[in-house]
Amino acid sequence: MAVNSRRLGFLAAALLLLPTCTRPTAVDDWQQVDRVIDGDTLVLADGRRVRLLGIDAPEMGFGDGISECYGPEATAFLLVLVEEAGWRLHLEYDEVQFDHYGRTLAYLWDGECRMLNEIILREGYAVFIPYSDALRWWQRLDRAGEEARLAQRGLWHPDACP
């Protein structure tokens, strides 16, 4: 009996070490990404524009416009995350699914159960929008943004935006 208890103990410990996914699995909405617009917006293969919920990345200057400080870096970072995900992301929606521009609002998850919105905030490529439509994960996103600010990562670094 002691051997079985020991095996169960090892099994329980091993299960605790397995990564857990906090992404909901009830809705399986995997989408192919066509291109990245800027640090918080991308376009899906079906033509929909998707705005990442709860974050605000510096804007890119298109045409004759001038990019905001850290805009090119934020765009490049989202592009890296999308490439790492193989250009396929899971979209999770909150209570409000569209913004006033008609863009789809979503949390984006990769195949490793990582929320891109959170990663972008934690690395300092965007700021958290406290009173946005990001209701489900607002505490998690707030913590990630605060972590970047306190660690002075990305756009929070004193030398990032003179």
Catalytic residue among 103, 114, 118, 122: 103
Q: Give pLDDT tens digits for 10-41.
A: 444 444 444 456 655 545 689 999 999 999 99
Rg of the chain's alpha carbons, rounded to an integer? 18
In a domain, 11, yes or no: no
Residue 90 placed within a domain: yes
Residue 89, in any domain of the structure = yes
* β strands within 58-159, DSSP E: 88-92, 104-109, 127-128
Query: Would you call 162 helix, strand, or coil by DSSP?
Result: coil
> What range does the domain containing 58 cover?
27-156
**CATH no. for residue 93?**
2.40.50.90
Where do the DSSP E strands lie in 27-154?
A: 30-38, 41-44, 49-52, 55-56, 88-92, 104-109, 127-128
Cα-to-chain-centroid distance, residue 110: 9
**Residue 123: active-site member:** no
User: pTM for the full model?
Assistant: 0.82
- 109, 120 in Cβ contact below 8 A? no
Domains: count for the chain: 1
Residue-wise pLDDT for 104-159, tens only, equals 999 999 999 999 999 999 999 999 988 778 788 999 999 999 999 999 999 999 99
The residue annotated as part of the active site, out of 59, 73, 118, 123, is 59
